[in-house]
Amino acid sequence: MIDRVALFVTCLADTLFPNAGKATVTVLERLGIEVVFPPDQTCCGQMHGNSGYPAEATALARRFVDVFGGFDAIVTPSGSCAAQVREHFGDLLGGNDRGVPGRTWELSQFLTGVLGLEDVGSTFEGTVAYHPTCHSLRLLRVGDAPLRLLRAVPGVDLRELPDAEECCGFGGTFAVKNADVSTAMLDEKIAAITASGAENVCACDSSCLMHIGGGLRRRGVPVRPIHLAEILAS
């Protein structure tokens, strides 16, 4: 039984979405787990890796392994960062990864898969549409773990998101390099969110929520982007 985890908060949540990080701490501590935050952590290198800068991505991967190598479990509130560590570190580091990829968990996978929990003692009031982010779904394969957690929260009224598995159009630098296509994809996602009738759109990645949330605000759509951890922390 794991009773102590290192939190990899991700550079994006650290800098721009601290509430996702704080909520992750709240949930884990509520379950009696000691949370350690190694302050030397920075970034997993996903953006560099995906944009075609393998040297920089490798350096950041090496740093990640140095910082987190001593922990039995590393938990992060990001599907895409967890996927970067679990799916790409092995290749980037030529196997010199100290087993870190196998011990790194996205929050919903950690709660359901490692701890075997669905009800984590949350309560929430509101309608929620869940957007499965691409990397959590197809690279990390979280499956329905986030949905099972959401279903176990009293007060969460889950609404079906049409074509839920379609990409929101973020894709890191894709959103600016191919801004018009990215926007067309976002428009479809926002139409689906609107059609769901939910007041909240929930995901396991702050980056996709930043994209969807920025689009919702620009279009004046009164739907709130909310990280899964924030619902679970309520």
Partner 1 sequence: MTHSSLDPAAARDARPESFPHAATGALANHQVRANIRHATTSIRRKRAGVVAEVPDWELLRAAGAAIKDETLASLDAVLIELEASIQAAGGTVHWARDAAEANEIVVGLVRAEGAEEVVKVKSLATDEIRLNEALEGAGIRPIETDLAELIVQLAGERPSHLLVPAIHKNRVEIRDLFRERLGRPDLSDDPTELAEAARLHLREAFLRARVAISGANFAAADTGTICVVESEGNGRMCTTLPDVLITVMGIEKAIPRFRDLEVFLQLLPRSSTGERMNPYTSLWTGVCEGDGPHAFHLVLLDAGRTRVLADPAGRPALRCIRCSACINVCPVYRQTGGHAYHSPYAGPIGAILAPQLLGEEGAVASLPFASSLCGACYDVCPVLIDIPSILVHERGKAVARERSGIEGRSLKVLGKAFATRAGYERAQRLGRKLQRPLARDGWIAHFPPGPLGAWGRSRDLPALPAQTFREWWESRDEPA
Q: Contact, 161 vs 131, CB < 8 A?
A: yes
Does residue number 132 form part of the binding site for partner 1 (CB under 8 A)? no
Q: How far is the CB of 157 from partner 1 (least distance, A)?
A: 26
Six token digits for residue 148: 């099972």
What is the Cα–Cα distance from 55 to 140, expressed in whole angstroms?
Answer: 23
The yes or no reply on residue 47 touching partner 1 (CB under 8 A) is yes
Residue closer to partner 1, measured from CB, 119 or 179: 179
Between residues 37 and 154, which has the closer beta carbon with respect to partner 1? 37
Q: Determine, following the binding rule CB under 8 A, whether residue 39 of this chain makes contact with partner 1.
A: yes
Task: Tell me if 134 contacts partner 1 by CB under 8 A.
Answer: yes
Choosing from 159, 166, 199, 234, the residue that interacts with partner 1 (CB under 8 A) is: 166
35 - beta bridge partners? 5
Least Cβ distance, residue 109 to partner 1 (angstroms): 17
- Binding part of the chain for partner 1, among 93-101, 118-126, 197-205, 207-215 by CB under 8 A, reads 207-215
Q: Which residues bind partner 1 (CB under 8 A)?
A: 9, 11, 13-18, 21-22, 37, 39-40, 42-43, 45, 47-54, 56, 59-60, 63, 134-135, 137-139, 165-167, 169-187, 210-211, 213-215, 217-218
